[in-house]
């Protein structure tokens, strides 16, 4: 392999950005790599994208595919159509995709069909729920990747069961936690919590965006009904994802639940680090709360990140009124601090870069 190794790194949606930032920092000290960032534009609002680039110090993308929103097929197909000419023009040695969003699978397919070495960061996670679009994206991406970089041990087991080549699998740790540990000290300057008058007060943080939770008004209503009861104990602050905002329309959730615009990365991690508990259907937030040792109630019936339940502070609360309240009673009775999983130590990026170097040279 000639050096520098030209590697295109794909970002599409909000949870991708904090995984790529530590990698770009690590690459910047390695003259044998020539990385470039490609933004698919799956997330395009400043609050979902631009703010994260600024907060995380990400480089300006070499290309922005500006694909925007659409159905799954439209969005995936459009990313593929727009990414292929860039591959032909840039002729990279490798393509690196992260996570499980539509941009991940779309760019993975394009790279592999052009015969380019494909790296998947956050490989091997499985919810075993094929109704979840991300699970399909994970299965497809992992099955065609040449290097599978894994965040937690369940990923190693899943990939082994699925017959991945052992030499292609590396336990590298968690890039999202690299970002958290790097930025949290800086996030103290973020005014969000102070502006809300939350300093020194107990509060909870809510995020909800999964289609299965927010697209059906009855389901969303059931979750909000439970959260209104919890908010009597613990006022709740809810930075709202555009999908959920659209579903709620002009409705307010009611009770002591306060809607906020989506927060930037530094504001969000500061608020999370000061919160008494977090209620979420996000994947990454299950990991961040485990690293911060803050109780997390995951408003889903499964998780592709089981270590956050087995070792961390996460509980699967489900999506039904009674179950959510039962889980909240359990948290109040015994919040638990858990322990931080192996290799969630802020040094995953260096291990990823080393694994990529070894695989390619
Ligand atoms: C996507 C990912 C999900 C991830 C989430 C984080 C897939 C299949 N899903 O879901 O895994 O957890 O990102 O947010 O890739 N919208 C805006 N502005 C934006 C982006 C989206 O208004 O910048 C609105 C659009 O109306 C869009 C909707 O949000 O239709 C959903 O966006 P989309 O990218 O389709 O999926 P997410 O629900 O964000």
Substitution site in 47, 134, 243 for ligand 1 pocket (most atoms within 8 Å of beta carbon):
243
User: What is the mean pLDDT of the segment spanning 198-221?
Assistant: 95
214-224 pLDDT, tens digit each: 999 999 999 99
* Closest Cα to atom 30 of ligand 1: 69
- Alpha-carbon gap, residue 287 to 305, rounded angstroms: 8
8-43 pLDDT, tens digit each: 999 999 999 999 999 999 999 999 999 999 999 999
Q: Which residues of 114-127 are buried (b: 16+ CB within 10 A; e: fewer)?
A: eebbbbbbbbbbbb
Reported in sequence order, the residue ranges of 30-130 that DSSP labels E, i.e. its strands, are: 33-39, 63-64, 94-98, 117-123
Global pTM reads 0.97
What residues contact 217, with CB distance under 8 A and at least 6 apart? 247
Nearest-atom index, ligand 1, CA of 44: 23
Check residue 229 and give its pLDDT: 98
Burial of 143 (0-12, 13-18, 19+ CB in 10 A): middle
Q: Is the pLDDT of residue 182 over 80?
A: yes
Q: Is the pLDDT of residue 191 over 80?
A: no
- Alpha-carbon gap, residue 112 to 59, rounded angstroms: 25
Q: Which DSSP letter does residue 47 get? A: I
* Closest Cα to atom 35 of ligand 1: 69
149-162 pLDDT, tens digit each: 999 999 999 999 99
Check residue 297 and give its pLDDT: 98
Residue 15 in contact with ligand 1 by CB distance below 6 A: yes
Give me the residues paired with residue 148 across strands: 120, 169
Q: What is the CA radius of gyration of the chain?
A: 20
Check residue 301 and give its pLDDT: 97
Residues 209 and 280: beta-carbon distance below 8 Å: no
CA of 283 to the centre of ligand 1 (A): 14
Substitution site in 139, 209, 214, 249 for ligand 1 pocket (most atoms within 8 Å of beta carbon):
209
CA of 284 to the centre of ligand 1 (A): 15
Check residue 192 and give its pLDDT: 77
Check residue 197 and give its pLDDT: 86
Check residue 347 and give its pLDDT: 98
């Amino acid at each position: 392999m000639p050096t520098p190794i030209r590697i295109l790194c794909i970002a599409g949606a909000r949870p991708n950005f904090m995984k790529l930032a530590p990698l770009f920092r690590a690459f910047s000290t390695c003259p044998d790599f020539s990385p470039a960032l490609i933004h698919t534009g799956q997330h395009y609002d400043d609050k979902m994208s631009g703010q994260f680039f600024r907060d995380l110090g990400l480089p300006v993308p070499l290309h922005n595919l500006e694909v925007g929103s659409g159905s799954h097929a439209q969005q995936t197909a459009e990313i593929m159509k727009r990414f292929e000419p860039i591959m032909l023009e840039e002729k990279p040695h490798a393509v690196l995709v992260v996570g499980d969003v539509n941009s991940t699978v779309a760019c993975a397919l394009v790279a592999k069909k052009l015969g380019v070495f494909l790296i998947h960061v956050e490989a091997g996670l499985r919810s075993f729920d094929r109704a979840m679009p991300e699970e399909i994206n994970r299965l497809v991406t992992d099955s065609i990747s040449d290097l599978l970089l894994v965040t937690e041990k369940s990923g190693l087991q899943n990939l082994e069961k699925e017959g991945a080549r052992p030499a292609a699998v590396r336990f590298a740790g968690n890039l999202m936690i690299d970002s958290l540990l790097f930025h949290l000290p800086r996030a103290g300057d973020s005014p969000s919590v102070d502006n809300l008058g939350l300093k020194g007060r107990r509060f909870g943080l809510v995020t909800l965006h999964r289609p299965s939770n927010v697209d059906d008004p009855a389901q969303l209503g059931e979750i909000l009904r439970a959260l209104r009861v919890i908010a009597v104990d613990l006022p709740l602050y809810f930075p709202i994802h555009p999908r959920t905002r659209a579903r709620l329309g002009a409705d307010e959730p009611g009770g002591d639940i306060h809607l906020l615009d989506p927060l930037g990365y530094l504001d969000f991690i500061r608020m999370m680090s000061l919160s008494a508990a977090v209620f979420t259907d996000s994947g990454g937030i299950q990991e961040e709360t485990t690293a911060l040792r803050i109780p997390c109630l995951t408003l889903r019936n499964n998780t592709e990140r089981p270590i956050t339940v087995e070792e961390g502070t996460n509980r699967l609360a489900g999506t039904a009124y009674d179950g959510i309240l039962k889980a909240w009673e359990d948290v109040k009775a015994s919040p638990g601090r858990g322990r931080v999983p192996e290799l969630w130590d802020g040094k995953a990026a260096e291990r990823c870069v080393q694994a990529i170097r070894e695989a390619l040279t």
